[in-house]
Amino acid sequence: MSDKSSSKASAFDRRAFMVGAAGSALVPITARAAAGDTSASVAQDPALPVEVTLHVNGKDKRLSIDPRTTVLDALREHLKLTGSKKGCDHGQCGACTVLIDDRRVVSCLTLALAAEGQEITTIEGLATDDRLHPMQQAFIDNDAFQCGYCTPGQIMSAVACVKEGHANSEADIREYMSGNICRCAAYPNIVAAVKQAAPEIMKG
Amino acid sequence: MRPFSYQRATDPDMAVQALSAAAAANNPLTQAAAQPLAGGTTLIDLMKLDVMRPAAIVDINPLAHGWSVIEPNGDNLRLGALAKMSDVAAHDGIQRNYPVIANSLKLAASAQLRNMATLGGNVMQRTRCSYFRDVSYENCNKRHPGSGCAAMDGVNRMHAVLGISDQCIATYPGDFAQALIALDATVEITGKAGTRSMPFAQLHKAPGSTPDIETTLQPGELISAFAVSGRWPRSVYLKARDRQSYEFALSSAAVALDVQDGTIKDARVALGGVATVPWRAREAEALLKGQKFDEALAQRAADAAFADARGRRHNSFKIALGKRVVARALQQAVTMEI
């Protein structure tokens, strides 16, 4: 493969790379996949949809998606879980924050393919039965939002912030919640909500 | 975003093979047809902006089981390239013996991004120059060699004053790299011929006449680990920025000192936010070594660190700010309790 593609005049020749890649380097992976290694799913032809299974809020979801699909778009456009919001779509605003394997991440910069095999928790997965999660309740109790667009991301981030042990002071909360922007500037009430919910969450 | 093929590399050889096959020796790695995916916080962002256009993504996250160690053992530190920024920042041994590393990571980005981003990816983070990130600007020598630099006479408040050339003044945006270069870290690189190590200071290339070539990595090579010799409990990372949190540095300083009986035996000073590459201020270090600390000495060292700095229309304030950051970081390092 290296001979074949490096002999081309330009590294920008996408077609040459595809042909070369399909010819050899990917063979070991497909062989593994055939042998039952489910962790080795690949998208060889970018023009074709790829099958992926996402674990979302405790359930397996089988999707057929463009390899470019982010976790955020998979949630919103394919699974109709529209709680996670698209703000900047560049990892700057935090509106799309979800938990992946219990760690808060921005779902707009996470490829759905790369999240295969991991547990994704969204705002829709927080409440149990008819009872709100303590952080959801605290946001209501403290009027911690105005327009509400950033709120699902704020709440997911806040849950993780508490569990990380970064909600021990107001200064800590402000520092560790800085990745969630609120353009209505509900920050004082958001800090109050996180403070209220923290002991209950830590109690379990 | 343009279409790409996607594969997972389940062992280093597979990653190196897939990446090197797509790389051509005469092109910068940042424009190679295949790009490694780790945390994705730079790559996916720049792909959405159409600044990076890989035809293939090689997901190296499956290598994390071997490449994410955090080992401050004895007098040596080893950090895997796929360790997450947040995990390293929160590690007791790092906080105790390498506070400059812990704080450089803690003060970078947001909690979410630190959970995603890896150490290797972080040092490879690309500039935040707005003319680089917006493809509607035609003049960018990083994106299109020879096209010129829109930042030279544009809005260049955030741009570099050290390590610049007449081709590029884009600032190196990271924080962690300043800690590494200050501590004389080595970087371990895995490629076709196995692994090699070199001083971290040799990884990044100042723009010169080829701003599109940002590192000395060869086709197919991946950073696999970083290593530091010795412990540096008396070390700080001070970062001045437009906001209190979640912002790139206007000016930052990584400082590590070895002070015995009031005398500075060894001093390390590195600068961020003001240079085109992670910047070691050796002139400042030379002034500090063997001396007793006082404010006048800190000021002389700060002046020396910026002796070669050259500002442009909007960024000259960084020279005065940078000196104060260095002086204050030195003060903090001298007075910290260890």
B193: contact with A, CB 8 A cutoff: no
Q: Are residues B54 and B34 in contact, defined by beta-carbon separation less than 8 angstroms?
A: yes
Mean pLDDT of A19-41: 38
Beta strands, E only, B16-160 = 34-37, 56-59, 70-73, 76-80
| Residue (of A111, A181, A185, A118) closest to A146 by Cα position | A185
Q: Does an H or E element contain A159, and which?
A: helix A151-163
Tokens matching residue A98? 């979800």
Question: What is the per-residue pLDDT for B24?
Answer: 67
Interface mutation target, options B47, B110, B116, B144, chain A, most CBs of A under 10 Å: B110
Instruction: Decide if B40 and A110 are in contact by the 8 Å CB cutoff.
Output: yes
Tokens matching residue B30? 């940042």
Question: What is the per-residue pLDDT for A77?
Answer: 98
Beta strands, E only, B40-112 = 56-59, 70-73, 76-80
Question: Residue B112: which of A20, A106, A113 has the nearest Cβ?
Answer: A106
Question: What is the per-residue pLDDT for B137?
Answer: 98
- The yes-or-no verdict on residue A8 having pLDDT over 60 is no
Q: How far is CA A16 from CA A37, B33, B42, B92, B218, in A?
A: 28, 10, 26, 48, 21
B4: contact with A, CB 8 A cutoff: yes
Question: What is the per-residue pLDDT for B40?
Answer: 98
Question: What is the per-residue pLDDT for B74?
Answer: 85
Query: Looking at A6-15, A113-122, B223-232, B275-284, which range is the least confident one?
Result: A6-15
**Phi, psi at residue A129, to the nearest 5°?**
50, -120
DSSP code of B125? P
Distance from CA of B297 to the nearest CA of A (A): 33
Smallest CA–CA distance from A32 into chain B, residue: B10
Q: What is the ipTM of this complex?
A: 0.96
Instruction: Decide if B21 and A2 are in contact by the 8 Å CB cutoff.
Output: yes
> How much is the CA Rg of chain A, to the nearest whole Å?
21
Q: Which CATH number fits domain B5-62: 3.40.190.10, 3.30.43.10, 3.20.20.70, 3.40.30.10?
A: 3.30.43.10
User: What span, in angstroms and rounded, lies between the C-alpha atoms of B224 and B214?
Assistant: 18
Distance from CA of B33 to the nearest CA of A (A): 6
Q: Are residues B175 and B101 in contact, defined by beta-carbon separation less than 8 angstroms?
A: no
Q: How far is CA B6 from CA A5, B41, B54, B128, in A?
A: 18, 17, 10, 26
Distance from CA of A14 to the nearest CA of B (A): 6
What is the reported pTM?
A: 0.92
DSSP assignment string, A103-135: EEEEGGGSBTGGGTTSEEE-GGGTSBTTB--HH
Instruction: Decide if A111 and B17 are in contact by the 8 Å CB cutoff.
Output: no
CATH number corresponding to B235-335: 3.30.390.50
Domain boundaries, chain A: 46-125, 126-204
User: Which one is predicted more confidently, A63 or A28?
Assistant: A63
Question: What is the per-residue pLDDT for B25?
Answer: 61
User: Which one is predicted more confidently, B46 or A20?
Assistant: B46
CATH number corresponding to A126-204: 1.10.150.120
Q: Which fold has domain A46-125?
A: Ubiquitin-like (UB roll) (3.10.20)
Mark the ranges of chain B whose per-residue pLDDT is less than 70.
24-26
User: What span, in angstroms and rounded, lies between the C-alpha atoms of A133 and A72?
Assistant: 22
Question: Residue B112: which of A46, A50, A179 has the nearest Cβ?
Answer: A179
Q: Sign of the CA dihedral A167, B236, B156, B130?
A: negative
B64: contact with A, CB 8 A cutoff: no
DSSP code of A158? H
Is A126-204 the same fold as A46-125? no
Q: What percent of chain A has pLDDT over 90?
A: 75
Domain boundaries, chain B: 5-62, 235-335
The residues facing B259 across adjacent strands are B264
User: Which one is predicted more confidently, A172 or A16?
Assistant: A172
